[in-house]
């Protein structure tokens, strides 16, 4: 039997419960200690999840006790925390968004690469069961070469109660949900070369945008529309489903409400229901998101053990982040942004 890897989880706030439940479902790793600068949160998480130790200072990364760190804090803290882990030689999985801007992402990636410490961004949407199955269908060639995709996340879930910091976040919707969709677009359709975007601030009083419509041109010449909104009123509320379609030269796959893929190919149509797993700790409407968390964590552990590249390595995530950065630049300037030009400008 292989020994379990010992992890430190940093950040015991709103989303961390899903991480900690998730780690308990992961094979080959466990969380040996939690850390939050807020002592009540750290102690509370340790007690709730039966974790043997809790800390307030991430300097514990230097203790030699940890095989990896799971950073579940907001993006403004990622650079300093990842640097501490990298300097201690501790592999990292860090929540999205990677950092507040692309220059910071580049610094983080360069520092980790120079030290040879693996870093993965926790991008859980691509690990949702429905998108693993959709990717299999695309890879099978059933709908032929892909030409168009629409990935749509529109609902009016009250994110502001659980994540009040979002009210004051200037880069809000694209960083909060758009980045998941952009990662999905890369996963399903490949890298993109050009980006245009229009942003909207629908709910009064926000510091940033709560809706965005992004258009990508992929390297393959396919196009993707990513549209995201926290101000779209529908009953029943489709949260947290990503809906849309992918068209290929020989067929189409629709991503429909109820976690259904409708495949049109060879002159016929069939539905595949790809429901997320319900686990002892998951609860509607969050199940689809929650179930993807241990799947993401398992990928991290499996790749760490085998030495394989993470699907969403720091290096690969720079490409995703560049699309988000380009979306903001396009929305601000009204121009189409070429990713190659953007990267030339921001690389040191
Ligand atoms: N992937 C998803 O589906 C998903 C869903 C929700 C949130 N998130 C992401 O998860 C991250 C965390 O979000 P949240 O809502 O849980 O945030 P939160 O503010 O509720 O919790 C963050 C915690 O980190 C602690 N912290 C911050 N800096 C620290 C440091 N240097 N040392 C120790 N503790 C520190 C804070 O005290 C706080 O308790 C965000 O980046 C968010 O975008 C992802």
For residues 55 and 149, state if they share a domain.
Answer: no
For residues 74 and 220, state if they share a domain.
Answer: no
For residues 65 and 183, state if they share a domain.
Answer: no
Q: Which atom of ligand 1 is nearest to the CA of 58?
A: 32
What spacing in Å lies between the alpha carbon of 250 and ligand 1's midpoint? 43
What spacing in Å lies between the alpha carbon of 146 and ligand 1's midpoint? 36
Please check whether residue 347 lies inside any domain of the structure.
no
For residues 191 and 50, state if they share a domain.
Answer: no
Please check whether residue 290 lies inside any domain of the structure.
no
Please check whether residue 193 lies inside any domain of the structure.
yes
Name the residue of 14, 108, 177 to mutate for ligand 1: max ligand atoms within 8 A of Cβ: 14
Please check whether residue 190 lies inside any domain of the structure.
yes
For residues 64 and 110, state if they share a domain.
Answer: yes
For residues 132 and 147, state if they share a domain.
Answer: yes
Please check whether residue 108 lies inside any domain of the structure.
yes
Look up the domain containing 85 and give its range: 5-122+297-311
For residues 221 and 153, state if they share a domain.
Answer: yes
Strand partners, 148: 223, 247
- State the CATH number of the domain containing residue 73: 3.40.50.720
Please check whether residue 289 lies inside any domain of the structure.
no
Digits of tens for pLDDT over the chain (348 positions)? 568 999 999 999 999 999 999 999 999 999 999 999 999 999 999 999 999 999 999 999 999 999 999 999 999 999 999 999 999 999 999 999 999 999 999 999 999 999 999 999 999 999 999 999 999 999 999 999 999 999 999 999 999 999 999 999 999 999 999 999 999 999 999 999 999 999 999 999 999 999 999 999 999 999 999 999 999 999 999 999 999 999 999 999 999 999 999 999 999 999 999 999 999 999 999 999 999 999 999 999 999 999 999 999 999 999 999 999 999 999 999 999 999 999 999 998
For residues 14 and 73, state if they share a domain.
Answer: yes
Q: Return the structure tokens found at 262.
A: 């409708």
Q: At what angle do helices 287-306 and 129-140 cross, to 10 degrees?
A: 70
For residues 198 and 108, state if they share a domain.
Answer: no
Q: Which atom of ligand 1 is nearest to the CA of 180?
A: 1
The domain tally of the chain equals 2
Q: Which atom of ligand 1 is nearest to the CA of 289?
A: 3
For residues 88 and 110, state if they share a domain.
Answer: yes
For residues 109 and 154, state if they share a domain.
Answer: no
For residues 116 and 147, state if they share a domain.
Answer: no
Please check whether residue 246 lies inside any domain of the structure.
yes
pTM of the predicted model as reported, rounded to 2 decimal places: 0.97
- State the CATH number of the domain containing residue 155: 3.30.360.10
What spacing in Å lies between the alpha carbon of 260 and ligand 1's midpoint? 31
Q: Are 207 and 168 a contacting pair, CB within 8 Å?
A: yes
Please check whether residue 291 lies inside any domain of the structure.
no
What spacing in Å lies between the alpha carbon of 14 and ligand 1's midpoint? 7
């Amino acid at each position: 039997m292989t020994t379990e890897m010992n992890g430190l989880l940093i950040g015991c706030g709103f989303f961390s419960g899903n991480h900690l439940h998730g780690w308990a479902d992961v094979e080959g790793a466990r969380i040996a200690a939690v850390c939050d600068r807020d002592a009540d949160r750290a102690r509370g998480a340790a007690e709730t999840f039966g974790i043997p130790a809790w800390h307030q200072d991430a300097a514990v990364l230097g203790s030699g006790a940890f095989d990896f760190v799971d950073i579940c804090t907001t993006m403004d803290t990622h650079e300093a925390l990842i640097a501490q882990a990298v300097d201690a030689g501790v592999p990292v999985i860090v929540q999205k968004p990677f950092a507040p801007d692309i220059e910071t992402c580049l610094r983080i990636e360069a520092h980790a690469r120079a030290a040879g410490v693996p870093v993965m961004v926790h991008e859980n949407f691509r690990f949702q069961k429905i998108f693993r199955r959709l990717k299999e269908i695309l890879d099978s060639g059933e709908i032929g070469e892909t030409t168009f995709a629409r990935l749509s996340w529109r609902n009016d879930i009250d994110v502001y109660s659980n994540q009040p910091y979002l009210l004051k976040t200037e880069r809000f919707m694209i960083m909060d949900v758009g980045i998941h969709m952009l990662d999905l677009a890369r996963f399903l359709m490949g890298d993109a070369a050009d980006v245009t975007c229009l942003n909207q601030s629908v709910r009064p009083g926000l510091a940033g945008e709560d809706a965005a419509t992004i258009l990508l041109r992929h390297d393959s010449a396919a196009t993707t529309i990513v549209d995201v909104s926290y101000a779209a009123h529908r009953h029943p509320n489709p949260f947290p489903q990503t809906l849309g379609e992918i068209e290929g030269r020989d067929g189409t796959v629709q991503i429909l409400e109820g976690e259904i893929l409708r495949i049109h190919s060879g002159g016929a149509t069939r539905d595949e229901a790809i429901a997320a797993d319900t686990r002892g700790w998951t609860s509607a409407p969050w199940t689809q998101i929650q179930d993807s968390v241990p799947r993401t964590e398992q990928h991290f552990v499996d790749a760490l053990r085998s030495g394989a590249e993470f699907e969403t390595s720091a290096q690969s995530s720079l490409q995703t982040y560049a699309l988000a950065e380009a979306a903001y630049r396009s929305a601000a300037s009204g121009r189409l942004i070429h990713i190659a030009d953007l990267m030339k400008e921001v690389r040191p």
